[in-house]
Amino acid sequence: MLRWKVIFTVLFYIAHTVSAYSLRGFLDSTIANGRPVTFSPTTEVVLRSVEAKHKSYVRADGESFVFLNVTAGSYVLSVNSIEHVFPTLRIDVAENGVEVFLTHRGNEWGFKGPRQPYPIELKPFAPAVYYQYREGFNVLKLFKNPMLLIGLLTLVMVFVLPKMMDSLDPEQLKEIQQQQAKSVPSAIANPMNFDVASYLAGKTAGPSTSGSSASQSKSAGSARSRKH
Amino acid sequence: MHVRALSLFLALATATLVRALFADEAFVVDWHIASIGSIAPSRALVSPDSVTVFSESSVLASLDTVNGTVRWRHLLDESAVSQHSHLTRLDSSAVLLVAATPADAAITHVAAWFEDSGYLIWDAYLSGGAPVGVSVAGDVYILLSGGKIQRLSRSTGSVVGEYSLPDGYSPVDIVASKDSISVITRKQDKGLGYFVLTGGSGELADDTYILIDKNPAAVSVTKAEGYNSNIIAWTVPGEFMTIKIAGMSGTSAQPLTVTPKAPYASFSLTSSTSGVVATITGIDGKSWTETYIFSRGKLTLVGATDPTESALAVSDGTLFKISKTSISSFALTTTGAKLASNTEIQLPPSSVEFAKCGSSACLVGFKNGEYVLATTTTGVAWTRDESIADVVSALFVDLEEEGESSSLGEVLFEENAAPLQAYIHRVRRHWKALAGLPQYLIGFFQRFLSGDYDAVPVDPNSTVSDTFGFRKFVVLATTRGSLRALDTAHAGAFAWKVDDVLESDAIVGIVQGDAKDELYVVGAFGTVAYVNALTGKVMTISKIADFGLGDKVESVVAFVHDGVQYIAAWTAHGQLHFLKASSPATSIYFSKVIDNVVAGYVFKEDRLIPTWQFTLPTSYKISSFAARHPGDKTVSLGRVLGDRSVLYKYLNPHILAVAAVDDTTKSAAVFLIDDVSGRLLYSSFHENEAVDTAAGVKLVVGEHWVVYSYWSDLPARGEKLVVLDMYESDIKNERWSKDQNFSSFTETPLPFVQGQAYLFPEHITSLAVSRSRFGITNRDIIATLDTAQIAVLPKRLLDARRPINRDPTNDEKEEGLVKYDALIGEDKRFIVSHVYNVLGTKKTICSPAYLESTVLVFAYGLDLFFTRITPSQPFDLLSKSFNKGQLLLTIFALMVGVRFTSPIVKRKQLNMRWGTQK
């Protein structure tokens, strides 16, 4: 009876002391963007497999962590941090030592990633970004808008083009107008007098055609203007 | 063509599926209440700078003594069972938590924490049982239930010595002082004695065993450290006038008997320079203290206080007396108690459970879950309500619309009264309403000028909703039998509180009646209270009439049948008691998950008849179950595909999704059952995946889909998120429920189920789905994570029709489908709880706002978190960035432009007509 008890006690100790390992590591707080990274005391380092879950907290030095009482097996190591995004590591704990690999989500467990040094070293990728920012009023952005550009171009056409035409030599102008009259319908050639209604009605606006009285007077005007 | 262009535009507009919280909305649309849980006096340390506790919810936290805010906290895995966890002070700046580990109660975890910052100093694991006693004197001494004493270095936590009790001695407690360590034991569960170990040099050595009492009947040992020697006390059962006390010296122990002046119910012992103080609570509930000094091997009573109903606590030779209106401190001297200070305070009305005092402050716990820190100098420093950390059930309560409360009844009166009377009434009503006109006008202009509806804040004391229905009450039923209403528009401030609603019956569930303000509260022993949800007033309270003896209410069932709402209590004996509306005339079918069986019932002619049973495959155990929310609305029967054909949704309101796990083979399964007929509609098994069965399967059922998640190791390690979309047929435009509604009783074809699985980065602890007012808005899946965060994923992202291994075709793009990617939720912008540390949330509830775009989300468990989400963007609300000034400026500029250009145009036209252009 006593012997059995001794054996059980011995087995108990084996189970609880021999197969338990401890892992050491630290969160890399070297300077990023000119500022050293700090880790809040709520930063948790989690070591997990289906069989076991171990949670460790950042030590008083603000970066190191220790897992005690870890049994042999293959674990995922992740960091729960509000402020930073950390890589995920695969930790294989066996009798002959600890192996650390960089892993990523969706990686088949049979494939080990690149080997990492031990003690475990975790450097945050980036600060965690939870927000999106509204775009304020931006003049440059406004001018990138194609609608605005089209509008501006139209304005230029309306105001600047007639002035340009005026500055031309009357002979030259006549030449151009004659050329235009040959190639395009006069209504389009002279946008200021363009009669939309008659254009849509399928009639070619010109001095010879007479639709409504308004179009008549307009075309008369245009006809006369040509005489200059 | 036009439709195609439009849908393409929509698809493009919503192509970016990552949608984050706007920085200017953070802390505005959301709030968070950090809780710690119920505090036990044995695991609370009160010091001038902080109150450090290890709560019943396994939260180790340090509270600020000035305002009661949480300085830091950790949700630990260690069990908070009082026998297995000890919180003591390590030194002036650190605390020590010794607790059994969750996985194995035979292993003890010892951790030292900085009290100011919450950083871990050191920790250690000890094998040999759960901790029985802890004592700090130079080093840390821990007595384990296996009979082992471990001595740990105070600065590093490394084991510097250990000692095992001889066989036959069971450990009771440990008391360490500078020179010697006394391990109190019982021999063969009979004799009470202690071992004196010398530990000066490091190694613990068995010195002497001293028997105190040969035959103590009950050993509920109270120890006191300090004074001249350590003191223990124990009781003799059946004798309420005897307390045995012994000082533990190195050579011998002489048990002494203390005879209190009245029979006691409980006592505690403290020791100080002036002597031993016993704080005794009598069987009549009154407390008093008796101070003794040791002189020549005898205990001499030197002073006793008068019995009082106030709470008493002794700390460092000071007696604190806390009544409802005052806190006084007394210096305990060898001549008795002398009043040192007296401060007037106002304490909550609930009865006091305990008082734990530090040097000048007392932490007072109340029965309703409130905790007060009262100091002898300033009175009440703060009050924390921790009842909201243990929530049984929660629901949203809609508030009255503006003006509704005052006028609805009056308008009804006017409609029914005689014309003249009605006219007079109306004039009078309008005259009264005129008083509010100035206020209304001011508010109107404020709103008009700022362009912001929040410009006129809603009065926190009113029960009126705001313009968009963002203000609601969240009513919480707590394990302490109380109700709490939180105002969503005022950062979760208490709108009302009611304690002990059911007159010491435990709340099982709360259900809202037909009216907004009707709230039914159902207790375990058949007590039903009807509470006004807007004011918290208990209207009526009654017992279920024919409630069976020894029966217990297990859940509350609410359903609407033919426009009538029924509320019923389901009991352990399988009874269904109708609480609201008499039992229905027609047959009502429903199902229950009892232990490991899903059972269907029909309630017909006042009788409950079992109809079907769904038994799980052997060795499977039910992990969770879910059904669609009855208030969830469906807008479209089908899903329009890119080529204008339709896939018809399988819309069955009776789908019950049941998830089960098998511990032996590490597999999981999900079953979709029609809960009227018990027919199995679909099942999916995850075998050979090494599923984390302890974490279980999390489920949510939407309109025609089920989403569930589980953690597994194979083939890729991680949290798997699975979506099952159900359609009537896999053939486009084909629909078999064309002419009539289909019935569960007819043999209808099984749904066509399409599934897809994704990998999610974090562990999911619960799932929920958003619910908008009319159901037009897209759905979002809300997941609480074990990283103390809450994520929101668009359901559109979890779509079984996403094309795999190829880019979507134009038709699919129009449908809004994006290429399948197994990895989901990598982006932190899915986290709506942003920088909040939302610990321990277990459940999420949703409620629609008045705006179709907006859904109110509330998560509870330990912490409370509230936010508003807009799954399809806030399409019916002007965005915060909308620039009213810019708009007005543009209009003004256009007006000016028109003013200037119109004469020019007019002149030009005139010239043209006259033919005098230029």
Q: Does B160 touch chain A (CB under 8 A)?
A: no
- All residues of chain B having their beta carbon less than 8 Å from the beta carbon of residue A62 are 119
Instruction: Judge: B823–A106 Cβ closer than 8 Å, yes or no.
Output: yes
- For residue B128, pLDDT over 70 is answered with yes
Locate the DSSP E strands across B296-369.
298-304, 311-315, 318-322, 326-333, 336-344, 352-357, 361-366
CA distance A163 to chain B (A): 11
Q: Name the packing angle between helices A213-225 and B884-914 (round to 10°).
A: 70
Mean pLDDT calculated for residue range B388-400: 93
**Phi and psi torsions of A2, nearest 5°:** -65, -40
Picking from B74, B36, B66, the residue whose alpha carbon sits closest to that of residue B48 is: B66
Instruction: Judge: A57–B886 Cβ closer than 8 Å, yes or no.
Output: no
Contact, B123 vs B109, CB < 8 A?
A: yes
Mean pLDDT calculated for residue range A136-158: 83
- For residue B82, pLDDT over 50 is answered with yes
Instruction: Judge: B915–A80 Cβ closer than 8 Å, yes or no.
Output: no
- For residue A192, pLDDT over 70 is answered with no
B-interface mutation test, from A50, A215, A222, most B Cβ less than 10 A away? A50
CA distance A82 to chain B (A): 6
pLDDT band at A221 (very low <50, low <70, confident <90, very high): very low
Contact, B262 vs B235, CB < 8 A?
A: no
Give every strand in the sheet of A115-116, ordered side by side. A53-57, A44-48, A73-80, A88-94, A97-103, A115-116
- Distance, first Cα to last Cα, chain B: 47
Q: Name the packing angle between helices B419-434 and B404-416 (round to 10°).
A: 160
Helix (H) or strand (E) holding B35: none
pLDDT at B416: 82
Q: Which of A107, A128, A136 comes nearest B828 by C-beta?
A: A128
pLDDT at B885: 81
Distance CA B145, CA B127 (A): 10
Mean pLDDT calculated for residue range B526-544: 91
Picking from B232, B109, B257, the residue whose alpha carbon sits closest to that of residue B173 is: B232
**Phi and psi torsions of B3, nearest 5°:** -60, -40
Residue position matching structure tokens 């029909």: B602
**What is the average pLDDT score of chain A?**
74
Q: Does B869 touch chain A (CB under 8 A)?
A: no
Lowest mean per-residue pLDDT among A206-210, B243-247, B357-361: A206-210
- CA B111 vs CA B51, B95, B101: distances in Å: 18, 8, 12
- All residues of chain A having their beta carbon less than 8 Å from the beta carbon of residue B828 are 85, 128-130
Q: Which of B26, B125, B716 comes nearest A108 by C-beta?
A: B716
pLDDT band at B110 (very low <50, low <70, confident <90, very high): very high
- All residues of chain B having their beta carbon less than 8 Å from the beta carbon of residue A109 are 713-717
pLDDT at B358: 85
Helix and strand numbers, DSSP H then E, in chain B: 6, 64
Among chain A residues, CA nearest to B714: A109
- For residue B437, pLDDT over 60 is answered with yes
Strands A53-57 and B21-22: unpaired
- All residues of chain A having their beta carbon less than 8 Å from the beta carbon of residue B148 are none
- For residue B447, pLDDT over 90 is answered with no
Mean pLDDT calculated for residue range B726-736: 88
Model confidence pLDDT, tens digit, residues B150-197: 889 989 888 888 888 888 888 888 888 777 788 888 877 567 888 888
DSSP B76: -
Peptide bond preceding A119: is omega within 30 degrees of 0, i.e. cis?
A: yes
Instruction: Judge: A16–B712 Cβ closer than 8 Å, yes or no.
Output: no
- For residue A16, pLDDT over 70 is answered with no
Distance CA B187, CA B422 (A): 89
Which residues lie closer than 8 Å to B882 by C-beta, 6 or more apart?
Answer: B451
Instruction: Judge: A80–B826 Cβ closer than 8 Å, yes or no.
Output: no
Distance CA B603, CA B593 (A): 16
Percent of chain B with pLDDT over 90: 40
Distance CA A187, CA A191 (A): 6
- All residues of chain A having their beta carbon less than 8 Å from the beta carbon of residue B787 are 80
pLDDT band at A104 (very low <50, low <70, confident <90, very high): confident
Model confidence pLDDT, tens digit, residues B769-827: 999 999 999 999 999 998 999 999 999 999 999 999 999 999 999 888 999 999 988 88
Pick B651 or B189 by higher pLDDT.
B651
**What is the average pLDDT score of chain B?**
86
Mean pLDDT calculated for residue range B509-529: 90
CA distance B485 to chain A (A): 29
Distance of CA B363 to the CA centre of its chain: 23
**Phi and psi torsions of B663, nearest 5°:** -70, -35
Helix (H) or strand (E) holding B891: helix B884-914
CA distance A172 to chain B (A): 19
Mean pLDDT calculated for residue range B234-239: 72
Q: Which of B120, B716, B823 comes nearest A57 by C-beta?
A: B120
Mean pLDDT calculated for residue range B82-104: 87
Among chain B residues, CA nearest to A18: B127
Q: Which of A69, A131, A225 comes nearest B107 by C-beta?
A: A69
How many residues can be counted in chain B?
918
Amino acid present at A134? R
Among chain B residues, CA nearest to A223: B915
**Phi and psi torsions of A105, nearest 5°:** -65, 140
A-interface mutation test, from B74, B116, B119, most A Cβ less than 10 A away? B119
Distance CA B871, CA B575 (A): 41
Contact, A118 vs A76, CB < 8 A?
A: no
Instruction: Judge: B127–A13 Cβ closer than 8 Å, yes or no.
Output: yes
pLDDT at B407: 62
Mean pLDDT calculated for residue range B706-716: 90
Q: How many CB atoms lie within 10 A of CB B792?
A: 24
Beta bridge partners of B231: B224, B247
pLDDT at A208: 42
Three-state secondary structure call for residue B499: coil
Q: Which of B103, B692, B837 comes nearest A50 by C-beta?
A: B692
pLDDT at B372: 93
Mean pLDDT calculated for residue range B239-254: 74
pLDDT at B337: 77
Mean pLDDT calculated for residue range B25-44: 92
- For residue B115, pLDDT over 70 is answered with yes
Contact, B258 vs B247, CB < 8 A?
A: no
- For residue A214, pLDDT over 50 is answered with no
Q: Which of B19, B127, B837 comes nearest A42 by C-beta?
A: B837
- All residues of chain B having their beta carbon less than 8 Å from the beta carbon of residue A52 are 103
Domain ranges in chain B are 393-400+463-582, 883-918
Instruction: Judge: B127–A12 Cβ closer than 8 Å, yes or no.
Output: yes
**Phi and psi torsions of B274, nearest 5°:** -85, -15
- For residue B51, pLDDT over 60 is answered with yes
Q: Which of residues 461-480 of B touch A (CB under 8 A)?
A: none
Distance CA B450, CA B458 (A): 16
Contact, B43 vs B61, CB < 8 A?
A: no
pLDDT band at A170 (very low <50, low <70, confident <90, very high): confident
Instruction: Judge: A130–B831 Cβ closer than 8 Å, yes or no.
Output: yes
Q: Which of A42, A129, A193 comes nearest B828 by C-beta?
A: A129
> Whole-prediction pTM value?
0.86
- For residue B66, pLDDT over 50 is answered with yes
How many residues can be counted in chain A?
228
pLDDT at A4: 37
- For residue B48, pLDDT over 70 is answered with yes
CA distance A80 to chain B (A): 6
Instruction: Judge: A41–B76 Cβ closer than 8 Å, yes or no.
Output: no
Model confidence pLDDT, tens digit, residues A54-99: 889 999 888 899 998 888 888 989 999 998 999 989 999 988 889 9
pLDDT band at A227 (very low <50, low <70, confident <90, very high): very low
CA distance A5 to chain B (A): 11
Q: Does B20 touch chain A (CB under 8 A)?
A: yes
Q: Which of residues 641-680 of B touch A (CB under 8 A)?
A: 666
Distance CA B81, CA B56 (A): 7
Model confidence pLDDT, tens digit, residues B868-912: 999 998 888 887 777 778 888 999 999 999 999 999 999 988 998
Contact, B153 vs B133, CB < 8 A?
A: no
SS3 readout for B801-865: CCCCCCCCCHHHHHHCCCCCCCECCCCHHHECCCCCCCCCCCEEEEEECCCCCCEEEEEECCCEE
Distance CA B368, CA A207 (A): 96
Percent of chain B with pLDDT over 70: 91
pLDDT at A224: 42
Among chain B residues, CA nearest to A107: B716
Q: Does B210 touch chain A (CB under 8 A)?
A: no
CATH 3.30.930.10 is the classification of domain B393-400+463-582: no
Mean pLDDT calculated for residue range B460-474: 88
pLDDT at B177: 75
pLDDT band at B720 (very low <50, low <70, confident <90, very high): very high
Q: Does B298 touch chain A (CB under 8 A)?
A: no
pLDDT at A8: 38
Reading the block at residue B589, the tokens are 């079918």
Q: Which of A50, A130, A166 comes nearest B690 by C-beta?
A: A50
- All residues of chain B having their beta carbon less than 8 Å from the beta carbon of residue A136 are 881
- For residue B272, pLDDT over 80 is answered with no
- For residue B317, pLDDT over 90 is answered with no
Contact, B481 vs B501, CB < 8 A?
A: yes
pLDDT at B277: 81
Distance CA B126, CA A16 (A): 9
Model confidence pLDDT, tens digit, residues B590-605: 888 888 889 999 888 8
Q: Which of B24, B118, B713 comes nearest A49 by C-beta?
A: B713
Amino acid present at A76? V
pLDDT band at B748 (very low <50, low <70, confident <90, very high): confident
**Interface pTM, i.e. ipTM:** 0.83
- All residues of chain B having their beta carbon less than 8 Å from the beta carbon of residue A135 are 881
Contact, A63 vs A57, CB < 8 A?
A: no
Instruction: Judge: A135–B822 Cβ closer than 8 Å, yes or no.
Output: no
> Is B335 exposed, middle or buried (CB count within 10 Å of its CB: 0-12, 13-18, 19+)?
exposed
Among chain B residues, CA nearest to A14: B127
pLDDT at B220: 60
CB pairs under 8 A between A and B: 134
Q: Does B909 touch chain A (CB under 8 A)?
A: no
Reading the block at residue B574, the tokens are 């399988």
